[in-house]
Amino acid sequence: MDKRYQDQVVMITGAASGFGKMAAERFAAEGAKLALSDISEEALGAVADALRANGTTVVTDVMDVSDEAQVMAHGAHIKEALGAIHVGINNAGIGHNLAPTHMLTTEEFDRNYAVNTRGVFLCMKVQLPFMLAQGGGAILNVSSAAGLTGASMLSGYAAAKHAVVGLTRAAADEYARKKIRVNALCPAFTITPMVEEMAEQVSSRGGISREQALGSITSRIPMGRVAQPEEIVQAMLWACAPENSFMTGQAIALDGGLTAI
């Protein structure tokens, strides 16, 4: 079977868990070389070790995507070790404690913007020069369904994810003639550590079970369920695939119909 990403270098942030970990595994299965980063050293090392054991070339850096010096150092490491970035998956992100807007702390609001928006911007600043020199590439910024709609009790997160969509569309316009495609992925609630933490907050506050909390969180989704990580990651591989060469500047909703209503 042909491997769509054979010998391409794929940079993935937030690669130690959730979407990022599964994306690393799937891109590796498609023949990619990987540049992985995460803020969690131990978890990142475990992911990298497992991939290397299967023959995948992996470069790693422990990195806070909101820190420009760390992101630029990661780019320099990739240049030295792999010499290219063909695909960028800007996945690292955080949420915040559920709170009405007037009770959300300024610190939480600022930290969400620092990681979820500035982190994407900084990683694109690393990726784009590689792609300009190579004559093309694909960038996928992980936003959220909350970046397309409101998100009650998550106003800081929603604001930061809306900004990711705006950044994506601006860059897509700037670099389209350079054969660099820039898109955003906007998943709704998916079984990831972030959503599990949210369910725990809802469960604790409401005195209800985890299952009831998940039901409450997803009550507005027409399909009546949360997504599985596999459903999101398969879209990552499709969005960045060479045969998907005419799509750029899109905010792709994977949301069980949430944004249709």
Predicted confidence (pLDDT) per residue in 130-177, tens digit: 999 999 999 999 999 999 998 888 999 999 999 999 999 999 999 999
Residues of the chain with pLDDT under 50: none
Please give the structure tokens belonging to residue 39: 């803020």
**Lateral strand order in the sheet of 33-38:** 58-62, 33-38, 9-12, 87-90, 137-142, 180-187, 251-254
Residues with catalytic function: 157
- Confidence at residue 215, expressed as pLDDT on a 0 to 100 scale: 72
Looking at residue 197, its pLDDT comes to 74
User: What integer best gives the mean pLDDT of the chain?
Assistant: 93
CA distance 213 to 210: 5
Given this model, what pLDDT does residue 199 score? Answer: 67
What pLDDT shows up at residue 69?
98
How wide is the angle at C-alpha 118 spanned by C-alphas 160 and 44, nearest 5°? 100
Note the pTM of the prediction, 2 decimals. 0.93
Residue 172: helix, strand or coil by DSSP?
Answer: helix
Q: Is residue 140 within 8 Å of residue 186, measured between CB atoms?
A: no
Pick the CATH number of 9-188+228-254 from 3.20.20.70, 3.30.413.10, 3.40.50.720, 2.60.120.680: 3.40.50.720
Domain range annotation of the chain:
9-188+228-254, 190-226
